[in-house]
Amino acid sequence: MHDRIAANDTGVEGVTTEKQLSQKREFVVSMRTIGLAAVVVLAIVISGWALVTVSTTFQAPTSDFVTLPGTPLSKSGVGVTFSGISTVMSNGLAAGVSGYLISSSGSPVANGSVYMTYYFQGSYRTQVTTSDQNGYFEATFPMNWTGSLPLTLTYFGDAQHKGLVQVFSIAGQALALGTQ
């Protein structure tokens, strides 16, 4: 075994063995490993939080929520589609959704009830809005979100139009981590 001469804190030289040096290196490596593991765990936690963060900065009255009708979708008439589905922003925050209900021929579907179902406060919630003469509809939600919000849009149809259920992933506002 080889010995090395090393100065300690007091300036007095002492003897350090190879075994002691090896133990110090192992301690430094294990501390670096623990530090790296802590950073990785923290990054995972922040990523999970940032994926979908729902803020209930304002509460929607419970009267804004409806029960999805149990009636079957209409199977007769012209087909329809949802078009231009996008996030409604309010003061830089994702606050709702808008889009168009149009027939397969491209004509707007006016006065169509569009049901929007999403996950909020531990359960699925449904809101309803009506398309205008241009087929445009818009609704605000009782929350803001980041990441993607799965949203199911349902139109039950009428005497002239077939019903439709379509699932969308609506983008919320992007998080800017590390900025103020």
Query: What H or E segment, with its residue span, contains residue 23?
Result: helix 18-51
* Structural tokens at position 113: 């009830």
Fold that domain 62-171 belongs to in CATH: Immunoglobulin-like (2.60.40)
For the segment 28-65, what is each residue's pLDDT rounded down to a tens digit? 667 777 777 667 666 666 655 444 444 444 444 555 77
Q: What is the pLDDT of residue 122?
A: 80
Query: What H or E segment, with its residue span, contains residue 27?
Result: helix 18-51
- On whether the CB atoms of residues 85 and 170 are closer than 8 A, the answer is yes
For the segment 78-134, what is each residue's pLDDT rounded down to a tens digit? 999 999 999 888 887 888 899 999 999 999 999 999 999 888 778 888 999 999 999
pTM of the model: 0.62
